[in-house]
Structure 1
Amino acid sequence: MNGPGDILRRAAARFGAKTALITADRTLSFTELDLLADRVAAALADRGVGPGRTVSLYAQNRWEWVAAYHGVLRTGAVVNPVNVMLTREELTYVLRDCGAAAVFTSVEQAAAVAELTRDLPELRTVVSFGGPADGAVDFAELTAFEGPAPQITTDPDQPCTIGYTSGTTGHPKGAVQSHRAVLLNCAMTATMHARTEHDVVVTALPAPHVYGNVVINGTFLVGGTVVLMERFAPAAALGLIDEHRATLFEGVPAMYAMMLADPALGDADLSSLSRCTVGGQTIPTTTINRWEQRSGAPLIELWGMTEISGLGTTHSPYAPAVPGSIGVALPGVEVRIADLDDLSRSTARGVPGELLVRGPIVMLGYHGDPEASARAIDADGWLRTGDIATMDATGHVFIVDRRGDMVITGGYNVYPAEIERVLAAHPAVALVAVGPVPDPVKGELACAYVVLAPGAHTTEEELSAFAADRLAAYKRPRLIRFVSDLPKTSTGKIMRRALITTFDH
């Protein structure tokens, strides 16, 4: 295999009629899913989509999303998985930046996305999941096309996906991953987590996220079954684990906290679980202990990022538990802790520094941004993660803090600069800074500290509504405080990490 586009075809040849994917409205075998991917590829190729083009996927978890992902890769095009929570403004930026030739989206969003074709000349095809829509091709019609699927030989070093991260300077950056990087991440994750064809995985992780992608395709790789929730609901997740006798549940810390707090937990049968995974943000050891005691299955911590196509570190379920650690490097991957003042030097064991990653899973760079790429990856191939961590004598990594100002809320990455850029445009706002405040369920919440312009007046509700029109829901500030001034350095730079201590909650 040269890339993730080969995973489904290989699995279909090996496992055939075995169930590959279960969703609320359809169950598909490997053979059926493979045929759908071929139909998508043939139809896209007939519409001029091929190597060198980019196709965006902008929808909630659903079986059509998975079929489209594999179909796009079979044309030789690059997949651009898009967070469904993005606003129209944010989506337009992403589609323009990556030069999308086609977009797959839900029937509810299709008409609005089709309107963007007027301003985006490269975007010629909009496909709707779930039925026909104005200006869009119905996915059912697309997959009725019976032309030959293109026969593409994948170059493992060429771009496979462009995944956009939240922008530290106000706009997102597109991390370009090679076919080799995505395939290896799926394969090495499957190896570390001991996946087999007998596994049944329940997950609500978004398919556009690298974690969700690795869960889905890493399971397909070994012939396991994925039970994919459209969106997370604790009682429903507990029910699906029981109904399908799931061997794995995979999610972010908030999901485990919500399941542990849900009344349905009392009657849930979790005895089929053999292990679970958790990533996206740090998780309290008390939550780990509670879940492991209730489920009887180890909860495996992991760490990853868009720039490495998924996981970078995790644990083996057969190894001794190291609570609070994000694990060790994936096979074939190097991690080290660099001195904060001199990244060329590694710190001593147990001394905090910046976590760096090197290996075949590291991105090719940021799309169209060589300067940002050079800042992120040094001449020796080490990727800066922005996370402060330590490493113990056995190579286990422990996250201490984030070097940047990123807020991680419910597993989503939120950058203060994006929120600040939006709120600063409000006429009543003179100065704004955003920082994290702790939250027992979501880990952190973004809090905006606002200094009003002289004589101006506004309310928290008004600013929240202002942000709601311009930012995805997960990026919006959950708290807004009006203050007289903001903490600054001697040079006038706002100290975001000092916000919570200055304005004691």
Structure 2
Amino acid sequence: MNSGAGGVLPSVGPGEILPFSAARHPDKIALVVGDTCLTYQELDRMSDAVAASLRSRGIGARDVCSLYAQNCWEWIVAYHGILKAGAIVNPVNVMLTGPELAFVLSDCEAEALFFGASQAATVANVLGEMSALELVCQLAGDVGEGIGAVTFTELLTAPIDAAPAGNPAPGPADLCSIGYTSGTTGHPKGAMQSQRSVLLNCALTATMHGRNSDDVVVTALPSAHVYGNVAVNSTFLAGGTVVLMERFDAGEALLLLEGDRATLFEGVPAMYSMMLAHPTFETTDLSNLRASTIGGQTFSPELLDRWQTRAPGPMLELWGMTELSGLGTTHAVHAPPVAGSIGVALPGLEIKIGAIDGTEGGVPTGEHGELLVRGPLVMLGYYGRPDTTAEALTDDGWLRTGDVAYVDETGHYFIVDRLKDMIVTAGYNVYPAEIERVIGAHPDVALVAVGGRPDPVKGEIAVAYVVPAPAAQLLPEDIIEHCRAHLAAYKRPREVVFVDALPTTSSGKLMRRKLADLEVADSDQGVVHAR
């Protein structure tokens, strides 16, 4: 493993990133979380101590270490310590319940578990099932009785030693991380990423976004999510500063963007919508933002236009997957923008549009099909699931993404929707994302999601779930009429449901499969139906 001395770029895996940047910028602030500011040298030394502590407990090459905590500086240190020990990182979504956590830990055969204080109760309820765990460590706060966990402080005070004999450093093709998918059907699957793919995604993202040592990046994306991981580590690779929010709050985000003179904000459409709706948005100075990134789901062009009235830098729309260890496409920061597009393929990544029915060959430019990806960012497969891997990866290495997309004549890609979210109404294919873009452009709409509902006549109908903007006087008929001018009759929602909030993942992505649950809410809670 290269130490980074002499300016030699990391070449094996993400465990080289901190040594590399610490050698170039030892005293520069690398990470800010609340009142805690850590330099590259401090991050490097602390992660070295974590690595030494793991090795002293016999945890190293090919052992899996799970991270189950909200954003915090300890999470970042533990992540890099695990990698430096030669172990495999398993980032876990903090929204998982006890049974879901137990499944993930068992499925990936975890040897160690790092958890946050807020997750302690959940962890305590599953530890009895986890006899294989060699180490249980609470990242912050006092350890509760009965858990038997060590504190993170104990790991940080361990003497730093060299890797013991017989514990070889990983190679580029070796397993680096196991990231579990959201599990929309059945149990989640663990996508295995190589050392090369995780490092390369950070490097290519930094390149496409023009990241540099002067950057100050504000993000509330979960560290356990591939988008959040790349946002942090691509910035570390470039020597910039990451301002990491424990969780997203619109008012706090605007304060940080202005107060820290941020050059980049990384987020999902829901975050931008909430900041746009915040009363301080119009008075917040965002002029230092040289760019913003947005991914995770569709959004209306009006959202982009309103954001750029305060933040003049380009909005870089991107697309990625757990199975790609992060981004697959993005706009380059200095390239002409193409509205509505997710950009172009990252360098070295092949992308094509295949037939939706899975038959061989591609489809013509501009025609809808399934987005297929091949190259060094594609996962090694799903952990312990050869049959599921064979369904996702073709014999010649193409990853079936499950996204409906098309490409234009300039090579820019456009996501239409998830294949599984497509609504078939009276024989017509209807894509929720298209309806969401139209409804999201209404000035009185803060957030919107569209889902399908069974219908005895048409098979399925589209239902729009709308969060009105603050103080808006909005009626269901207003939404229907707005859609009438922009959508063909078969695409229009047949019902509008007003709600206070939409179900989202920890990264802010809409969870369409849970939309129907909103309809059981009582009308006194602000839910209105209209046909």
Query: Fold-level match, TM-score > 0.5?
Result: yes
- Bigger shift: 354-363 or 47-56? 47-56
Match in the other structure for 1:150: 163
8 A contact 1:74–1:150 mirrored in 2 = no
Match in the other structure for 2:514: 477
Say which SS state the counterpart of residue 293 (structure 1) adopts.
coil
Aligned residues: 441
How many angstroms apart in 2 are the aligned matches of 1:17 and 1:174? 37
Closer, same or farther in 2 for the Cα pair 1:272/1:356, shift >3 Å?
A: same
Q: How does 1:393-408 map to 2 (within 5 A)?
A: 393-405=409-421
Closer, same or farther in 2 for the Cα pair 1:225/1:129, shift >3 Å?
A: same
How many angstroms apart in 2 are the aligned matches of 1:481 and 1:388? 26
8 A contact 2:94–2:119 mirrored in 1 = no
8 A contact 1:326–1:396 mirrored in 2 = yes
8 A contact 2:268–2:507 mirrored in 1 = no
Q: How does 1:111-150 map to 2 (within 5 A)?
A: 112-133=122-143, 134=145, 135-150=148-163
8 A contact 1:23–1:62 mirrored in 2 = yes
How many angstroms apart in 2 are the aligned matches of 1:481 and 1:269? 37
Flag structure 2 segments of 5+ consecutive residues without an equivalent: 1-10, 424-431, 441-445, 457-502, 521-528
Closer, same or farther in 2 for the Cα pair 1:343/1:447, shift >3 Å?
A: closer
Cα drift, residue 297 of structure 1:
1.4
Query: What are the Cα deviations for residues 285-322 of structure 1, in whole angstroms up to 9, with x where unaligned?
Result: 11111111221111110000100000000101211110
Match of 2:111 among 82, 101, 104: 101
Match in the other structure for 1:338: 354
**Residue 327 of structure 2 is aligned to residue 322 of structure 1:** no
8 A contact 2:99–2:126 mirrored in 1 = no
Match in the other structure for 1:60: 70
8 A contact 2:86–2:170 mirrored in 1 = yes
How many angstroms apart in 1 are the aligned matches of 2:19 and 2:99? 37
**Residue 34 of structure 2 is aligned to residue 29 of structure 1:** no
8 A contact 2:282–2:310 mirrored in 1 = no
Flag structure 1 segments of 5+ consecutive residues without an equivalent: 408-434, 452-467, 484-502
Cα drift, residue 442 of structure 1:
5.0
Opposite residue 28 of structure 1, the aligned amino acid is L
State the 4+ residue runs in structure 1 displaced beyond 4 angstroms: 435-443, 445-451, 471-476
**Residue 315 of structure 2 is aligned to residue 299 of structure 1:** yes
Query: What are the Cα deviations for residues 326-380 of structure 1, in whole angstroms up to 9, with x where unaligned?
Result: 0000000010001223442111110111000000000000000000001101011
How many angstroms apart in 2 are the aligned matches of 1:352 and 1:222? 37
Closer, same or farther in 2 for the Cα pair 1:355/1:2, shift >3 Å?
A: same
Match in the other structure for 1:277: 293
Say which SS state the counterpart of residue 421 (structure 2) adopts.
coil
Closer, same or farther in 2 for the Cα pair 1:222/1:55, shift >3 Å?
A: same
Match of 1:379 among 376, 387, 395: 395
Query: What are the Cα deviations for residues 153-192 of structure 1, in whole angstroms up to 9, with x where unaligned?
Result: 2211011010000224311000000010001100001100
Match of 2:267 among 251, 260, 275: 251
How many angstroms apart in 1 are the aligned matches of 2:518 and 2:71? 35
Match in the other structure for 1:312: 328
Q: Considering Cα pairs closer than 8 Å and 6+ residues apart, tell me whether 1 or 2 has the greater RCO.
A: 1
Match in the other structure for 2:189: 173
Q: How does 1:482-501 map to 2 (within 5 A)?
A: none
Query: What are the Cα deviations for residues 204-245 of structure 1, in whole angstroms up to 9, with x where unaligned?
Result: 000000000000000000101000000001110010011111
Q: How does 1:344-383 map to 2 (within 5 A)?
A: 344-383=360-399
Closer, same or farther in 2 for the Cα pair 1:69/1:443, shift >3 Å?
A: farther
How many angstroms apart in 2 are the aligned matches of 1:389 and 1:447? 20
Opposite residue 150 of structure 2, the aligned amino acid is V
How many angstroms apart in 2 are the aligned matches of 1:397 and 1:30? 37
Cα-Cα RMSD: 2.6
Match in the other structure for 1:10: 20
Opposite residue 146 of structure 1, the aligned amino acid is P
8 A contact 1:450–1:481 mirrored in 2 = no
Query: What are the Cα deviations for residues 29-58 of structure 1, in whole angstroms up to 9, with x where unaligned?
Result: 000000110011111111121111100000
Match in the other structure for 2:482: none
Cα drift, residue 62 of structure 1:
0.5
**Residue 38 of structure 2 is aligned to residue 38 of structure 1:** no
Closer, same or farther in 2 for the Cα pair 1:448/1:338, shift >3 Å?
A: closer
Opposite residue 113 of structure 2, the aligned amino acid is V
Cα drift, residue 445 of structure 1:
6.3
How many angstroms apart in 2 are the aligned matches of 1:406 and 1:105? 37
8 A contact 1:448–1:477 mirrored in 2 = no
Match in the other structure for 1:444: 449
